Structure 1
Amino acid sequence: MAAEEQAEGLQFHPMEQFTVEPLFGGDTIHWYTPTNVTLWMALAVLAIIGLLVLGTRKRAIVPSRTQSVAELAYGFVHSMVEDVAGKEALKYFPYIMTLFIFIVFSNFLGLIPMSFVTTSHIAVTVVLALLVFVSVTLLGFYLHGIKFLGLFWVSSAPLALRPVLAVIEIISYFVRPVSHSIRLAGNVMAGHAVIEVFATFAGAILIAPLALVGIVAMFGMDVLVAFIQAYVFTILTCVYLKDALHPSH
């Protein structure tokens, strides 16, 4: 009996919140099945349209709050692209702005109770990272041809070390989408899992106050992580874009 009570007391699953489920019932998920991931990605897109399209449609000289937020986001990403990748990269600003604003909204919508954070799933972040990786690689070869391979040849190093450094550079280049995607998904998932653990212990009378303090602290941390991880993903995209535009060491 004691063993059963102990087992029941330990039955909490902090990773259960990341389960992909069909919206309309059933157990089988196909590529075309609407899921909770589909729903929250669609809500993120609708929220983005509401901010950037509907919120700025009047283009008032004295902006409303919504227009001010939209202009602030636009200016923030625009400055990031120009500062990191140079003015030549500004023609690719719409793509980078799309990445940033989608990740930001997905992260913040995931902070709503009973919501689903889409960027916690590696399948979502891998697609985003692979789009960046393939795009900048194709762009590099399109702009520079075979000279793009100069990205892997460290001409400033001693001649004997250059082949070794070239191998290291090639490996690090192809690891980019892995680190790019895992960093975002891992940080977002970890924060939500820890909040779930604290929420489980909030039911215990003796440690409930400490658990509530932990929930508030972790939620505040997750708010920062929601923005910081979008910023990190975007600034790394700008760095990779810079390599495609200026491949030589």
Structure 2
Amino acid sequence: MATETHGAEEGGLVFHPMDQFKIEPAFGDGAIGMFTVTNATVWMALAVVATFALLVLGSSKRAMIPSRMQSVAELAYGFVYKMVEDICGKEGVKYFPYIMTLFMFIVCANFLGLIPTSFTPTSHFAVTVVLALAVFLTVTILGFVKNGAAFLGLFWVSSAPLPLRPVLAIIELISYFVRPVSHSIRLAGNVMAGHAVIKVFAGFAAITVISPVSVVAITAMYGLEVLVSFIQAYVFTILTCVYLKDALHPSH
């Protein structure tokens, strides 16, 4: 604290890139309780509203000559539907509504988080872990419901030599339970890293000498983050489809 104060007094730059990820009450100050409305709550709600507005209100008229919003909604619908059909087959199409909702929530939350002074809920592991665990539990339960004990065939590599199969089964089992960890960290880590880098460049923009370079760097990073926001939603969704395929067809 003394170093930061001394730097500020001498005209130095003091900024904290991770401050943008703090959970704070949305209204007023004070401690955060179980039912406190926070900035994360507000922006997750806005992501839900944006998803509803795009998919429901945007396509409600179903015009022969679609509006821009209807075109985006139809494009998103066709994109995710084809992804589910290609990876999971016709049998997986019945689970399309869940996967579509998951994709749209993540992509809307990511894009809303690019608005200046906004909050990005998908940068928090508390959010992405819940999403990943929901996928993990849904896929696991579905796998046993659809296949019974045959679902355990997912861990038994029948094509491998017999002496190696028990070892591979243990590896496959560990890999399976690591899925929600990697699933959640990949999304939160990439979103958090990009926003932190933008914040660092924005802090240096206050220094006159390097301000032009910093502005160019911010612009480049912002453009990259727009791409990352979509790609991370796509990666999360396509992995969900892969896991769903394993539940529907567990044999190696």
Q: Which bin holds the TM-score, normalised by the shorter protein? A: over 0.9
Q: Name the counterpart of 1:40.
A: 43
**So what's the TM-score if we normalise by structure 2?**
0.96
* Correspondence 1:1-249 to 2 at 5 A: 5-6=6-7, 9-249=12-252
Whether contact under 8 Å (2:13, 2:203) holds in the other structure is no
1:217-247 C-alpha deviation (Å, 9 max, x unpaired): 1101100000000000000000000000000
Aligned AA (2:99): I
Identity %: 72
C-alpha root-mean-square deviation of aligned residues, in Å?
1.5
SS of residue in 2 equivalent to 1:15? helix
After superposing on structure 2, the runs of 4+ consecutive aligned residues of structure 1 that deviate more than 2 Å are 1-11
Gaps of 5+ in 2: none
Give the unaligned 5+ runs of structure 1: none
The amino acid across from 1:155 in the alignment is S
CA displacement 1:166-217 (0-9 Å, x = unmatched):
0000000000000000000000000000000000001111111111111011
Q: Deviations over 1:83-116 (max 9, x none)?
A: 1111110000000000000000000000000100
Residue identity matched to 1:220: G
C-alpha distance in 2, partners of 1:110/1:3? 28
**What is the CA-CA distance between 1:137 and the residue it aligns to?**
0.1
Secondary structure at the aligned position of 2:46 is classed as helix
CA distance in 2, matches of 1:2, 1:68: 54
TM-score where L is the length of structure 1:
0.97
Cα distance change of structure 1 residues 181 and 3 upon mapping to structure 2, 3 Å threshold: closer
- Tell me how far 1:5 sits from its aligned partner: 3.8
Report deviation, 1:11.
2.2
Distance 1:206 1:24, change over 3 A: same
